[in-house]
Structure 1
Amino acid sequence: MTLTHLNQQGEASMVDVTEKDITDRAARAQSAVAMSADAFAQLQAGNNKKGDVLATARIAGIQAAKKTADLIPLCHPLALTKVKVDFALDDENHTVHIESYCRLAGRTGVEMEALTAASVAALTIYDMCKAVDPAMVIGPTKLQEKVGGKRGHWQAEASPTEEEKKQ
């Protein structure tokens, strides 16, 4: 397998996508932040001293997706047409589940933008809740799905649920 981000001398090199076709491309990524019952209750009630945690994390994730090329050295700057960051609260496990979605019409995929959005949203939740619970755990962060480009559609295998693991 040839590494696409290295030139003939083994030096880092940005891939030339000039000749690639422009296609619709999209990616979904996820992350999670597990926290104490106290931190989760404050987040859920909107009582965090720093403000609305989820609204701030949503904006941070969207901004991060738009800045991915500034953060990841060999990523192409992309003209994103859609960035979405959503949250699901898991009362039983005191966990905030994060899903990001990025889309564009372009020559290269948006996986890194989706992963960056989910990651930065998780980091923002951590930052805003760390005074209550510095032992929060972030992750796993992973790509869920990508659509478009030469390889077409790819989807991660479903992770077994806790119930399925017990069987």
Structure 2
Amino acid sequence: MADLSHLNEQERARMVDISEKTDTVRTARARSGITVSEEAYTQIEEGTGEKGNVLATAQVAGITGAKKTSDWIPLCHPLMLSGADIQFEWEQHEPDTYYLSITSEVKVKGNTGVEMEALTAASAAALTVYDMCKSTGKDMTIGPTYLLDKTGGKSGDYHRES
């Protein structure tokens, strides 16, 4: 049998039992992003898109994604989050291409970590930007998506190397 925590003795999926784990404050930050055209960038920055305020909607989508992670990822535990936030930052890649960096931060006081919630939050925000800007062109690219850092829990802290 494989030594994977999400497999039972029959090598079928199971939700890991966390009932004996200690409650601690746990945080996680993740990053994703989306590359958009100059037209989409201008619509987002000037608020002229036909679907409304893109970043405000992506902010809410990211927070909602964090709260609903266990609905998206089958073996994740539902968590009562203490906080969730999304930050946006623009980078110009080429004269007509812009990259929107999306950083999520999620916090909980509980007995399991929030890495998946942070990753889901960043992903949901990026997907929302795509949805709201797809009328400007379908050639947007989402990613990369990755964990920046996490604190708390039995496995200790993790900080991604630059």
Bin of the TM-score, shorter chain as denominator length: over 0.9
**Amino acid aligned to 1:113:** E
Q: What does 1:2-81 align with in structure 2 at a 5 Å threshold?
A: 2-81=3-82
1:151 Cα offset (Å): 1.4
**Amino acid aligned to 1:151:** S
CA root-mean-square deviation = 1.0
Aligned to 2:144: 140
TM-score (normalised: structure 2)? 0.95
Aligned to 1:163: none
Q: Secondary structure at the match of 2:101?
A: strand
Aligned to 1:95: 99
Q: Secondary structure at the match of 2:131?
A: helix
TM-score (normalised: structure 1)? 0.92
Give deviations 1:103-135, integer Å, cap 9, x for gaps.
011100000000000000000000000100210
Indicate the percent of aligned positions where both proteins have the same amino acid. Answer: 51
1:57 Cα offset (Å): 0.2
The list of structure 1 runs, each at least 4 consecutive aligned residues, that deviate by more than 6 angstroms after superposition, is none
How many residues get paired?
158
**Amino acid aligned to 2:22:** D
Please point out which of 122, 127, 152 is paired with 2:131.
127
Gaps of 5+ in 2: none
Q: Secondary structure at the match of 1:97?
A: strand
